Amino acid sequence: MSASPSAANAKVLVIDDDKDLRYSLRRALAGLGHTVIEADSGETGVVAAKREQPDVILLDNRMGGMTGIETLQMLRGAQPQAMVILMTAFGTTQTAIEAMKFGAYDYVMKPFDQAKLITLVDKALSARRDLAAATKSTRTLVNPADYKEGIVGSSEPMQEVLKSIGQVAASDATVLITGESGTGKELVARCIHQHSLRAKGTFLAVNCAAIPENLIESELFGHEKGAFTGATNQKLGKFELCDGGTIFLDEIGDMSLPTQTKVLRAIQEGEIQRVGGTVTVKISVRLVAATNKDLEAMVTTRQFREDLYYRLNVFRIRLPALRYRKGDVPLLVDYMLQRQAAAKKIKPKRLSNEALDALLAYDWPGNVRELENVVQRANVLAKGETILPKDLPQDVLNPRKTPIAPPAVVPSAPAPAAAEAAAPVAGLTPAYDTIYKQCRVNDGKSILTVIEMEMIRRAMEETRGNQLRSAMILGINRSTLKKRLLEMREAGIKVFT
């Protein structure tokens, strides 16, 4: 590989069977201080690329022997770091698509303005320098085999999730997985099934929000022939098909009250009845449910059955939003790049430190799902082996800042040094600021504890001191809430009672 080129001493390979054009380009480029190598065919051009390791290659598309597109494909193996500019007098749709498909930096139409081509060469050299610098600072982070479950993360919040999976998997307890959209709730559900005693049984995922209301009962419980118009045959529902296995009901907060009643019966009694049927069918199914909605609030407003909520909430796993575990972003990106490359049976691309910094600075409102989409897009757009910031979407590079609510439950953090114990934090509301100062002065609690206390204060204020409702809103039990309230009062923090 050639060294990173400077603005005036790069190597440029010109591959064209037109002797006069090669001469013209050599004079122009050499006059700017570049070293110019010439080749009169695709075959000799590939040999020259291997020998000279050029930084930029100007490649004609129509030549005797190999075409420019065929030569381009071979050049990707001979000198993958080089920026290839295809020159063509026939600007067909096919040429444009194939040039970019096989990794050209750009292409120009003949006859071209020489000054514009020189400008394009300068841009290609700039990209080549960025790529050379980025390649030096990248490294492989993970082995995908270490994450065969698809759950990637070494942060404290994700370690807590993994511990919870380990605790509940071997039991037959119903599990409720909560978290924002895109946090990986189905992956967790599958992992629970794979490590359960039902692992050899069937796992079926049902998105309750994606099935029309008039069809969801049939999907879940099946129907008998003639049960309704169009029911020409008996159909087994998902619960029956999962007998001996696990059913995952995603977005269960979107389920109607009548369907909730039937799901409750299936859990409590271990039996279902097909739509239009009179026979009760016994089933043995483990239920894992998930939602991004506030089920406790829905229970309060009677949009969700209270008895079903308590049957689902036997064991809860809360998935953290990606913005609260940004330390996992490098692992996730590397895992995604390697998975995407393995699917295409190609060498995985790498992420430059500058691109990683941009990803770490973004708040990821769409969570891991959004990150995967961004990585896939960058993987397509990146020239060469390394993803640069320019390969990322503008809304990631220049995000619009929107306020984000803190998580309902936050992990503890190390206490700060004594020198900053009473330091104010910019941007805190007056209530946060008061609690912050009291916590720092009294016992050095972290800002995360401050957020938790402020949320308790707000919940108590909203419910006008009703501890049961406050505990439901916060997702904690009443005894934990009482303990927190006692701690707050001892710290001199006023709470609505």
**pLDDT for the residue 73:** 87
The candidate with the shortest Cα–Cα distance to 299, out of 98, 471, 149, is: 471
Q: Where are the alpha helices (DSSP H) in 5-113?
A: 19-30, 42-52, 68-78, 93-101
Distances (CA, A) of 393 to 252, 325, 373: 33, 21, 10
Helix, strand or coil, per DSSP, at residue 85: strand
Residues in a beta bridge with 32: none
Is residue 157 a contact partner of residue 320, using CB atoms and an 8 Å limit?
yes
Question: 252 phi and psi, to 5 degrees?
Answer: -70, -20
Distances (CA, A) of 103 to 71, 370, 381, 434: 12, 25, 9, 58
Class of domain 418-490: mainly alpha
Is residue 192 a contact partner of residue 154, using CB atoms and an 8 Å limit?
no
CA atoms within 13 A on the CB side of 447: 14
Q: Is the fold of 11-136 the same as that of 156-318?
A: yes
Burial class, 136, CB count within 10 angstroms (exposed 0-12 / middle 13-18 / buried 19+): exposed
**pLDDT for the residue 95:** 75
Helix, strand or coil, per DSSP, at residue 66: coil
Is residue 330 a contact partner of residue 139, using CB atoms and an 8 Å limit?
no
Find all residues with CB under 8 Å of 418, minimum gap 6, and list them.
Answer: 444
Instruction: Output DSSP code: residue 466.
Output: -
131/110 Cα distance (integer angstroms): 28
Please give the structure tokens belonging to residue 316.
């809860």
For the chain, domain boundaries: 11-136, 156-318, 325-397, 418-490
User: Which CATH architecture is the domain 325-397 placed in?
Assistant: Orthogonal Bundle (1.10)
474/476 Cα distance (integer angstroms): 6
Task: Go through the chain and tell me how many residues it has.
Answer: 497
Q: For the whole prediction, is pTM greater than 0.85?
A: no
Find all residues with CB under 8 Å of 97, minimum gap 6, and list them.
Answer: none
Q: Which amino acid is at 420?
A: E
CATH of region 156-318? 3.40.50.300
Question: 415 phi and psi, to 5 degrees?
Answer: -70, 145
Please give the structure tokens belonging to residue 29.
């480029």
Class of domain 11-136: alpha beta
Find all residues with CB under 8 Å of 456, minimum gap 6, and list them.
Answer: 470, 474, 481, 484, 485, 488, 495
Angle between helices 447-462 and 430-443 (to 10 degrees): 130
334/313 Cα distance (integer angstroms): 34
pLDDT mean by block of 10 residues, the chain; 497 residues: 56 92 91 92 91 91 86 82 85 74 83 87 85 59 73 90 93 95 95 95 95 90 89 92 96 94 94 91 96 94 95 95 93 91 84 90 95 94 84 88 46 36 41 52 55 81 80 76 81 75
Instruction: Output DSSP code: residue 223.
Output: B
Give the DSSP H or E segment for 280: strand 280-282
